[in-house]
Structure formats: C-alpha cells, structure tokens
Structure 1
Amino acid sequence: MILEVAILNIKEGLSQEFEQTFEVAQDIISSMKGYISHQLKKCVEEDDKYILLVNWKTIEDHEIGFRQSEEYKQWKTLLHHFYEPFPTVEHYK
C-alpha cells in the first residue's frame, strides 16, 4: 500500500468554497482503480491549510492510473485553482 501525502495551502478566504468543492471531487478519486481510502484534515493552527492523505494499492495507481486519466482532468478543473502555492505530493510506504 502507498500513502499519498499532500499539504494543501488554499488561497486566503476560499477554504469554505474549497471544502464544498472537495465534497464533489472526492467522488472522482474514490472511483479510481487502486484507490483504498482518503482523509482531508483541516489545520488547527492555520485557517487555509489542509492535509490530504490518500491510500492507493500501488504508486502506479496514483501516478499513472489517476493522474493520466480523464477523471483527473475533472479533479484538476475542480480543485487546482484553490492552491497557492501548488502542493508538493509525496508517497510513503
């Protein structure tokens, strides 16, 4: 199992809109091959900061199966405009 970790810094004042949009976007990621589970947690110390944790069966399920899919284009359209700066994504085993 691979754990994808992304620290999400949201543009100031857009956290509520981000959370509402993520409710829709999470259906996309959870439908992907190799997806196991995910958690989105809001930072206690910083209002516009989150951590996204996604469990995948393999790194290829994330990097190829998801990121090179049509579904990823929808995910990107829904969420990427909220980030500043764009998050670094890391994988852990």
Structure 2
Amino acid sequence: MIHEIASLPVRADRIEAFQHAFSEVVHLLARAKVYEGHRLLQGVETPSQFTLIVQWRTLEDHTEGFEPGEDHRAFMEGLQAHFAGEPVVQHARSVGP
C-alpha cells in the first residue's frame, strides 16, 4: 500500500470554506477504483495547515490512474481558491510490523 501525503496550505481566512469545499469534492477521490481510504488532518499549532493522506494500492494507481484524470482535475479545481500556496505531495510506504 502507498500513502500519498499532501501538505495543503490554506489561507487563514478560508479555513471553514476549505473544509466545506473538501466535503463537496471528496466523492471524486473516493470513487477512484484504486482508492483505499483517506484522512484529512488539520494542524493544531497551525490550523491553516492541512495534511491529506490517501491510501492507494500502488504508486502507479495514484500517479498514472487518478492524477491524469478528469476527477483529479475537478477535485483540485474545487479546492484551489482556498490555498495559500502550492500543495506539496510525497509518497510513502509502510515498513516494519
């Protein structure tokens, strides 16, 4: 399993609007056939910093399956107005027991 970890800097005056917008577009992520779950986390010390962790079966399921598609475009388009900067994405895999 691969974890997509996206750091999402949200404008401080748009936090509630971002959360609402996310609830409106999350179905686009969840309906991807290779999607295995997600968590949206809000920073405690920095409430305008969100982290989205999405579980995919493989890296290619995300980068070649979901990212090039229309659902990804619409997902990002629905959130873009709330960002204070560019999201940063990395991928990780579980290790150990």
Same structural fold, with TM-score higher than 0.5 when normalized by the shorter chain? yes
Alpha-carbon distance between aligned partners in 1 of 2:85 and 2:25, rounded to the nearest angstrom: 20
Task: Report the 3-state secondary structure (helix = DSSP H, G, I; strand = E; otherwise coil) of the residue aligned with 1:77.
Answer: helix
Which structure: larger Rg?
2
**Cα shift readout 1:41-91 (whole Å, capped 9, x = no counterpart):** 111101211111000011111111111111112112101222221111000
Alpha-carbon distance between aligned partners in 2 of 1:58 and 1:81, rounded to the nearest angstrom: 29
Give 1:45's aligned residue. 45
Count matched residues.
93
Task: Report the 3-state secondary structure (helix = DSSP H, G, I; strand = E; otherwise coil) of the residue aligned with 2:84.
Answer: coil
What root-mean-square deviation, in Å, do the aligned CA atoms of Structure 1 and Structure 2 show?
0.9
- Decide which moves more: 75-84 or 45-54: 75-84
Match runs of 1:30-69 below 5 Å: 30-69=30-69
Give 1:86's aligned residue. 86
Alpha-carbon distance between aligned partners in 2 of 1:66 and 1:80, rounded to the nearest angstrom: 18
Alpha-carbon distance between aligned partners in 2 of 1:87 and 1:76, rounded to the nearest angstrom: 10
TM-score, normalising length from structure 1? 0.94
State the Cα distance separating 1:28 from its structure 2 match.
0.5
Which aligned segments of 4 or more residues in structure 1 are displaced greater than 2 angstroms?
A: none
What is the letter of the counterpart of residue 2 of structure 2?
I
Gaps of 5+ in 1: none
